[in-house]
Every structure is written in structure tokens, then in C-alpha cells.
Amino acid sequence: MYGTQSKRDLALELRSQIPILRPSIHARRANLTVKFQDLYGFTVEGNVDDVNVLNEVREKVRRQGRVWWALEASKGANWYLQPSISENQSLKASLKLSALANAVTLKRLIRKGIPPVLRPKVWFSLSGAAKKKSTVPESYYNDLTKAVEGKVTPATRQIDHDLPRTFPGHPWLDTPEGHAALRRVLVGYSFRDSDVGYCQGLNYVAALLLLVMKTEEDAFWMLAVLLENVLVNDCYTTNLSGCHVEQRVFKDLLSKQCPRIAAHLEALDFDVSLVATEWFLCLFSKSLPSETTLRVWDVLFYEGAKVLFHVALAMFKMKEEELLLTHHVGDVINILQRTTHHLFDPDELLTVAFDKIGSMTTNTIFKQRKKQEPAVMAELDQRLRRLNSIKLDDK
């Protein structure tokens, strides 16, 4: 959705070539900060070491692309749609070995990254967005956007307020055309699901989906499947109850998977939700470089919301020794922000997330959520009572 059709085709062609970044000789000699555009049009600041890392990553992407294309040539264009094995599904005697092999191969390939040029169709198919779209009339999205045009609600007012603050300076998103497309997606969804309406954070998620998907309508359906099927319920509702549950679950997992860090942060009186809330609401889109974020989303759309916990834990794990030396809350925040903003190697992040963090199944996360829900609801109820009491006192 990056610009016009011809521009988008050109962008796809450029992405498939995956250019090598070459900082000037003066920058190389002085090790100065350099600016460059990533594959999705974002301006990135980094030093020459960061550029070298990105070039190595892009070489891996090229090699990975050749693997995907070879599979498409040998197994067919939609080979990844063969029956897969979920973590909760027992292996039946009737299950074909080829289907099992495809599932294992696919999971491994997705963790290594989906080639940018294939990402739109693979996401759309594997996430369930294509199936969701097929259950409604073909004109659903166009009819929806026309029906809500001109209507004003608290959600639309907040969306209009957030549009210019969503990735300012991006060459397409921060244009009238980009704002209009993002507005249609967000407003359309706010009417599709009035319980969610609009929540700050969704603007960044939807914006990145627009840059990846081939059409605005596909971006809408990716947002729909994300909120309705992939993520936990009530993450983006008015009281953010689902998000509060996720934060409690994350804090509990941090104490189990990274006990030294958790104990040290508790001694500093540091609440992990200070950084993790934005990670979970924006799905890392505001924190990580876009190419790294999309590698996380590759796995998220296939393996589900447990991926968010793996990645968030990995952020802390990667800087464990440095974090253990901190004495102030501000130092913790600075280390985590510096780490995330310069995490140009998604393989490093995902290796820690899946190989150095203990195993967590979807069922494990589900049980943790159920355990935390009563406390969250009681806390939110108490907060509501307190607010109502203040309102009565003001009358």
C-alpha cells in the first residue's frame, strides 16, 4: 500500500533486490552516525557497525528467499497451506508424513524469516485473514468505508488526532494519501468492532500493515484477524483489561525465566510494564527497527501471541549482565530503549527468544491468563468505583 500501484510494484522489485548499504568513506573513518532508509521507507540512524549488521542480515534474507522460491518451484505456489500440526494436536496414525514434514519445515522457515516479496500473501493465508475475508460479501470493505464516511465518534476524533503522529516523516505514511488510507482502515475497524473502537497503538500496527500488504483492504483484514483471533481478547477495549492481564503474565514469566533480572528490578522498584506495555500494544512497531519488527510478526501470525512473551523476555535476557549493574530506574529504561532501537539483527533476537528462553506453549500462557484475570478485574473495578466516587464528590 506504499504509494500508487506503480510505486508499489517498484518497491517490491527493489525489496527483492535488497540493496547493500554503503556509508561514505568519511563516516567509515570517523565512525559517525549515518542515516539511511530501510526496506519500508523508514529513516534509520546508526553507526557503521549497525550498517554492517544490516548488510549481513540482508544477505541472509537473499539466501532465505532462494530457499522459499525453490520450495514454491518444487511443491507449488501455496505449499505452505498444507495441513499443519498445532502444539496441542496429537499425531494421528492417518496423518501423512508429508504434512508433518511441511509443518516442521514451515515453522523453521518462518522463524528464519519470510522474504519481503512473499510476506503479503504468506501472512494473508497463514494468519486466517483470507478465510475471514471469504466469510463476507466481496464488497464488504468498500461498503463499510462508504457507510461510515463522514460519521463522527469519539474513536474517529482520536484517530484524526493520532494520524499526523503516526511515524512522522515517513515518505508515504506521512502524506495526505497515507493518512487517508490509514484513517479508512482504523475508522472502518472501529465500526466493525464497537467494543474495541479505537485504541492508541493500533495506529502504528495498522500503518505497518499498510506498508506490507498489497492492498488497503488486505491490511484491514490483517488487522481484523490480529485483534479477533491472534491476540488475547480485550487487549484494546476501553479499560485495556486484556493488556493488564498480559502485563501481569509477563511479570510472572520474567520471574520464572529470568529470576536474577526480576529480583534486581524488584529491588529497584522497577515496574516492567513501564516498557512492556508499549511493546505489547504496538507489537514492537514503535520500539524495534521495522525490518526486525516484521520478522517478529512473521512468527506472530503463524505461532500466535505467545511470541510476544518470548520476544519481550529476550529483550531483558540479552542485556542481563548490563541490567544487573544498574542502580536507577532511568538506567534500566535507557538500556532497554538503546537496545531495541539498535536491534538490527532479528536472528540474534529470535535465537535468544526461542533457544535461550524456556519453552512456553499457548496452553501455558492461557492458564497464566486465567490465573491473573480475577486480580485484574478486581483492580479495574476498584479503580472505577474510586473514579465514580470522585465524580459524586465534585457535584
Q: Which of 75-79, 89-93, 303-307, 364-368 has the highest mean pLDDT?
A: 303-307
Q: Residue 196 and residue 161: Cα distance in Å, rounded?
A: 17
Domain ranges of the chain: 31-80+98-117, 128-230, 241-394
**Secondary structure letter of residue 305 according to DSSP:** T
Q: How confident is the model at residue 384 (pLDDT cuts 50, 70, 90)?
A: confident
Q: Supply the pLDDT for residue 9.
A: 47
Lowest pLDDT segment from 181-185, 300-304, 378-382:
378-382
Whether 326 has a pLDDT exceeding 50, the answer reads yes
> How much is the pTM?
0.88
Local structure of 46: helix, strand or coil:
strand
Local structure of 43: helix, strand or coil:
strand
Q: Read off the pLDDT of residues 249-274 as tens digits, 9 standing for 90 and up.
A: 999 999 999 999 999 999 999 999 99
Domain 128-230 matching CATH 1.10.8.270: the answer reads yes
Q: Residue 207 and residue 201: Cα distance in Å, rounded?
A: 10
Q: How confident is the model at residue 4 (pLDDT cuts 50, 70, 90)?
A: very low
Q: Which three cell numbers, joined as nine digits, stand for 292? A: 526486525
Q: Read off the pLDDT of residues 8-45 as tens digits, 9 standing for 90 and up.
A: 444 444 444 566 665 544 444 446 788 888 989 999 88
Looking at per-residue confidence, does 173 or 389 come out higher? Answer: 173
Average pLDDT over residues 139-154: 97
How would DSSP label each residue in 182-238? HHHHHHHHHHH-TTT---TTHHHHHHHHHHHSSSHHHHHHHHHHIIIIISPTTSSST
CATH of domain 241-394: 1.10.472.80
Q: Residue 63 and residue 15: Cα distance in Å, rounded?
A: 14
Looking at per-residue confidence, does 310 or 47 come out higher? Answer: 310
How would DSSP label each residue in 308-355? HHHHHHHHHHHTHHHHTT--SHHHHHHHHHHHHHT---HHHHHHIIII
CA 308 to chain centre: 8
Based on its alpha-carbon atoms, the radius of gyration of the chain, rounded to whole angstroms, reads: 22
